[in-house]
Amino acid sequence: MRAAWVNAVGAVTPLGSCWRETRDALAAGRCAIGSIRSFDASGFPSRHAAAVDRDFSGEDRRTALALEAAREAWAAAGLDRQPPNPLKVGVFVGAESGRLPFSTVAALARAGGPGPVLDHARFSREAVSRARDLDSRLVSPAAVAARLVGELGARGPVATVSLACASGAAAIAEAARAVRQGECDVALAGGVGADVDPLMLAGFGLLGALSASGVSRPFDRRRDGFVLGEGAGMVVLSCEKGIARVAGIGRTLDAWSLTAPAPDGNGGLRAMRLALADAGLQSVDVVQAHGTSTPLNDAIEARAIRDALGDSLRSSHVSSIKGALGHTIAAAGALGFIAAVEAVVTGTVLPTVGLAEPDPDCALPHVVGRAVSRRVDSAMVNSFAFGGANCTLVVTRPE
C-alpha cells in the first residue's frame, strides 16, 4: 500500500486569511474570541464567538471560506502551475448543512399559525412561495465539495463527510485512504465551519455546551463550555513524498449518547490506539487534542490520552488550538491536523490559549502561554464528535 503524503496546507480563520498568518498569531498566544457583531446576540446563552470578520456578499459562507483555504493549499503544492491528471484527483470535505437566512426561518415558523396545532395548508402555501427564492447551495452539505470539484476540475472520487466535530479529520482520513489504495493520486481534503449564527448559538446553548463566560479554556479548572468559531482548513495529500506523512488513522464510535462521550473514554482511547498501531508507533512527540473546554469532554479526553501513551507522555507536549479559535465544528479536526503538521515540519508546538490554571483531572504536559520549539518526529490529532464519532490521525516526519 502506498504512503499518503501531505504536500501543502491552507487555512482561513479569525486570526488570519492564510495559514501563515494564523500560525504566527497562535504561536504568539493571541485569541480570536470577541463579542458577536454579525447579529444581536443579547439574550442568548453566549454572546461571544471567534468569527471571520469578512462579508462574503451573499455567497454561501461555508463555500467562500473553503475556497480560500483550498486555493492556498493548491497553489502552495504547485498544482496551479502543473495540474495533475483530473481523473486521479479526489475531493473530500467535512461540512455540515448550511442555514437558511434567519428571516426565512422566522417566516416559516410564523406560517404554521399562532396556535399549538400546525396549520398545514397555510404552512404549505408559505413554504412554496419561499422555496422559489431559495438557493439549494446555501443549505446542502454537498454544495461545498461540489464547488471545490468545479474549481479544481477534479474527476476522481468526491465525498462530503458530515460527522459534526469530527467531520474535517474524518474527511482527511478518507482522503488518505484513497491515496494509499491508489483510488486517487492527489486529494484535496479538509473541513469548513460557519456556524456563528442565531440558530446554532441557540441550539448549542439549549444543550448547555456553550461557555457562559465567553472564554475558551481547554483543560483549565475554570472551563465552562466551548465558544463557537468559524473557519476552514484544507490540505493537499498525494502519493508523492511531501512535507509530512499521514502515518496513522484510527476511527471508532462510542455508541453511547448523541451529545456526550462515553464516561470511560473508551471510544477515544481505541481511536488513538488504532492510529498508533497503524503508524507503527507507541508514542508521539505532540498531541493536538480535541480540547473543547467543556468540563466533561476535557477530563475524559485527558484520561484517554494518558492511557494511550502511558509513561511516554512525559516527553510529549499537548495543546488545543480551540482556546484561541473557538470550536469551528466541521473545520475543527482539519485545523487541528494542520497544527500537527506545523509541529512536525517546523518544530513549533502551538500553545493552548486560555489555559492558566490546569485542572488536576486534566493533568497533561500542556503548552501554556507561547509556542514551544522542539524536534517533532510524530504528532497525533484527536477529533471527537457529537454522536460519539472519534477520529485520530498521526503524522510523521519524512524519513
- Could you give the CA distance from residue 189 to residue 346 in angstroms, rounded to a whole number? 21
Q: Which of 272, 364, 273, 262 is nearest to 319 (CA)?
A: 364
Q: Which of 181, 161, 176, 343 is nearest to 246 (CA)?
A: 176
- Please state the length of the chain: 399
Q: Which of 301, 321, 315 is nearest to 233 (CA)?
A: 321
Dihedral in degrees, nearest 10, Cα atoms 95, 223, 209, 227: -40
Question: Is there a catalytic annotation at residue 366?
Answer: no
Question: Is there a catalytic annotation at residue 48?
Answer: no
Place of cell 493533568: 363
- The catalytic residue among 18, 165, 184, 391 is 165
How is residue 75 annotated by DSSP? H
Question: Is there a catalytic annotation at residue 18?
Answer: no
Amino acid at 312: S
Could you tell me the strand order of the sheet in which 317-319 lies?
A: 158-161, 89-94, 186-194, 230-238, 5-12, 244-253, 389-396, 378-384, 286-288, 317-319
- Could you give the CA distance from residue 233 to residue 69 in angstroms, rounded to a whole number? 6
In the chain, the DSSP E strands lie at: 5-12, 34-35, 48-49, 89-94, 158-161, 186-194, 230-238, 244-253, 286-288, 317-319, 348-349, 372-373, 378-384, 389-396
* Cβ partners under 8 Å of residue 99, min gap 6: 105, 138, 139, 197, 199, 200
- The catalytic residue among 290, 362, 366, 391 is 290
- The catalytic residue among 18, 184, 239, 327 is 327
- Determine how β-strand 34-35 pairs with β-strand 48-49: antiparallel
- Asked if 188 contacts 68 with a C-beta cutoff of 8 angstroms, the reply is no
* Cβ partners under 8 Å of residue 371, min gap 6: 26, 27, 28, 348, 349, 350, 351
Residue numbers annotated as active site: 165, 290, 327
